[in-house]
Structure 1
């Protein structure tokens, strides 16, 4: 078989036989094959092996911030690979791209966030943070401070620790071996947080972790004063505050980092996804100066935590170029500007489609709920959003659905390069898809 000229049917058979897909239905893959086999991308568009083009309304997995087809990122990767593709950062070895990127992150992040530990992605960043904060309290003479409080509907990844921190119960059903020491609290209740701290004892709690805007849980946006109160509570009880900016970082919400909307500096910030726009696998854990200095002062011997690809030179070089693009093309400003247009289209869709309920957005991340009755918020007996997603895909638009618990939600996260015309095109397709499903739903009731 000529590996360079495989047909779509041949690729589908190989996919079914050899490729176990992440976060997918194994049965559906075997029955129908891959939903789409992509071949190339440009800007906000992807093209499949059959030549059909789609608007990528999710920037793939919330991460292709600078859009597809960036030859300058391919070029910098090639140049770095030719010079130094990889080198270890264990035993204090280092490389220039990793050093420069760590310094750049200190410059971009708010407050005195100063030092970075590099990972390969968001789940690794989360698990690293849990280990680091527990190690921090241990070397500070408080080894009993081990518990991590996270929030209901929060998503933090799928490694053992990050799955345990995730507050979406569906992710807990895959395994019965969740890690101990993780607690969950109501998403936007600071009173519930205070009560849980009192109940457990502040001297047993290492950190509180939260996404500034919950992503996979349904794009849930906090009240304006929520994180300021969280910051006060954490300071009052000597609990470290971790902001998971894996989805929201690097411009997604119209600021470099979403916590800037709320006027707070976390003690630890987690990043991945938009740091390289998906062009290379990379994440980081960034800590404030006092944490870094205490680790220097109190740690002894080797910090026995690290990944083969921590500080990967090629990934770090790509990230530096990606950040340069975000700056030079003013894509954070574009996210803010296009976010207002995006919000207007959401409002119009709510007015014109009777099954569109609550809408919410911040910059270029958003969501809409599907309901049977806008006034009462009554839901349909069966989830409707997957049907809308399927209709949108037929028409050339890729979005995601959230159906955990009572949610029947469509979420959005387009590349930050999107323009006004492309936003209109996206919402025109979505409206057609919603109206098609809407007609089916109410026709069946007659």
Structure 2
């Protein structure tokens, strides 16, 4: 960029940054850091796996922003789909049996994609609302069956389920639960079958409504489940009359190399929560999908109104955008590319491990990948100061937006790029990580 252009861009950044600090309350942000440093990037453009800042800096979006821009940035087809729908019908309510074509068609499409007998979808504006919907519906179901004590929800430690009241309460990461205030009747178990059995025995199966789990934990560190974990979970839930909910907000719609993450583990839940990838972030949309069995029982048992609904449940424009998004994923064979590029990431991480003895615990599936930085890999001992934070900072200078996860004593680097990423871009990410970690190590690790 020419000097004058750079100066004008900087002036524009500073102007917007001043307004931002004065008026925009940011999510998951330090108030003090925001006021002292202002906004980080002010993004203005996106194309494929790239994002561009108002000052002209381009970075690879190594996490699909918030695990959600699955088809990549800048797809005009989704903007056109939104425009066409808004020109015809921008909004109409779906309360009291009213409907419209985009919601009907999207519900049908979801039913075609989901495993087993998951066939009916309740739409929300995002994942937190979808999880709250699942919890309320599970409790409502047991209430209809006359089992009023069955209202407790069990989730896994290191899980993340959102930030609305119920979703935060189900989240297994203590840092989120320390933010006031929580709902009652939520309990947390380690990622072992023994821990789940112990919790059921302690609380009593007659008091437990549902068990919820991400097929692969995302924000908690990209943690894979133990072998045969979900098959045993399914059996335990069936034996104890407990509903099994899978949180597919991150893992749904191709992220793990299958339509839904739970398909990798050979079981079908009673309820599934979806969001993010259904629209690739181009429109706010989520949902709860329930089984045919559950649907039929709700119809048979209920005489009154299902007293739950959001203004934007089944928003026409959002549904139209989601339909176009899912069409693109299918037509461009993007889930196949997820599998192929996931394998490239695995090779790249193994190469990094050979070059850097500090890298270990490589894990993930599809385009949901992570590794840890360890002082002693054999004993799983970490450095006293999180190294991943410094690596992310250095990587950003070289044009890569990644994520450091340090919850629960971890020192993890996580990546989940858009599905359209190619081999050259994967190699660029691996090269940047290599250079960034090398630079951090030269400064010394503590």
The answer to whether the 8 Å contact 1:369/1:410 transfers is: yes
2:320 is equivalent to residue 317 of structure 1: yes
Is residue 75 from structure 1 mapped to residue 80 from structure 2 by the alignment? yes
1:15 alignment partner, one of 5, 13, 20: 20
1:185 matched residue in structure 2: 189
How far 1:223 sits from its partner (Å)?
2.3
Q: Report deviation, 1:371.
A: 1.4
Alignment of 1:43-192 (within 5 A): 43-175=48-180, 177-187=181-191, 189-192=192-195
What is the 5 A alignment of 1:336-347?
A: 336-347=339-350
Question: Which residue is equivalent to 2:380?
Answer: 377
SS at match of 1:369: strand
Taking the aligned partners of 2:123 and 2:444, their CA distance within structure 1 comes to: 49
Deviations 1:328-380 (A, max 9, x none): 00111110111111111011111111221211120000111111233433211
Partner of 2:253, secondary structure, is coil
SS state of the match for residue 361, structure 2?
A: strand
- The more displaced of 354-363 and 216-225 is 354-363
For the residues of structure 2 that align with 1:178 and 1:69, how far apart are their CA atoms?
38
Match for 1:334 among 334, 337, 346?
337
Shift of 1:6: 7.3
Question: Could you say what secondary structure the match of 1:357 adopts?
Answer: strand
- What is the match of residue 292 of structure 1? 295
Is the 8 Å Cα contact of residues 88 and 308 (structure 1) preserved in structure 2?
yes
Counterparts of 1:9 and 1:427, CA distance in 2: 33
SS in 2 for 1:405: helix
Cα deviation, 1:249-285, whole Å, max 9, x if unaligned, reads: 0100000101000000000000000000000000010
Q: In the alignment, is residue 393 of structure 1 matched against residue 396 of structure 2?
A: yes
Check the 8 A contact 1:275/1:319 in 2, yes or no.
yes
C-alpha contact 2:248 2:274 (8 A) present in aligned 1? yes
2:230 pairs with 1:227:
yes
Corresponding residue of 2:4: none
Q: Secondary structure at the match of 2:56?
A: coil
- Deviation digits for residues 125-175 of structure 1 (CA, Å, limit 9, x no counterpart): 000000000001111121111000001000000001010000000111121
TM-score by length of 2: 0.97
Residue segments in structure 2 that go unaligned for 5+ positions in a row: 1-8
Instruction: Report the TM-score, using the length of structure 1 for normalisation.
Output: 0.97
Contact 2:64 2:416 in 1 (8 A): yes
Q: Distance in 1 between matches of 2:400 and 2:31?
A: 23
Q: Tell me by how many angstroms 1:382 deviates.
A: 1.3
Structure 1 segments unaligned to the other structure (5+ residues): none
Deviation at 1:58, TM superposition (A): 0.1
Q: Give the C-alpha shift of residue 92 in structure 1.
A: 1.1
How many angstroms apart in 1 are the aligned matches of 2:228 and 2:368?
20
1:122 CA displacement: 0.4
Q: Conserved in 1, the CA contact under 8 Å of 2:102 and 2:316?
A: yes
Matched, 1:239 2:247: no
Report the secondary structure of 2:211's partner residue.
Answer: strand
Which consecutive segments of 4 or more residues in structure 1 shift more than 3 A?
none
Distance 2:10 2:347 in 1: 45
2: CA distance, partners of 1:208 / 1:37: 40
Cα distance, 1:204 vs. partner? 0.7
Contact 1:355 1:438 in 2 (8 A): no
Counterpart CA distance in 2 for 1:196 and 1:375 is: 31
CA distance in 2, matches of 1:5, 1:349: 36
Q: Is the 8 A contact 2:10 2:55 kept in 1?
A: no
Contact 2:193 2:233 (8 Å CA) reproduced: yes
Aligned length in residues: 438
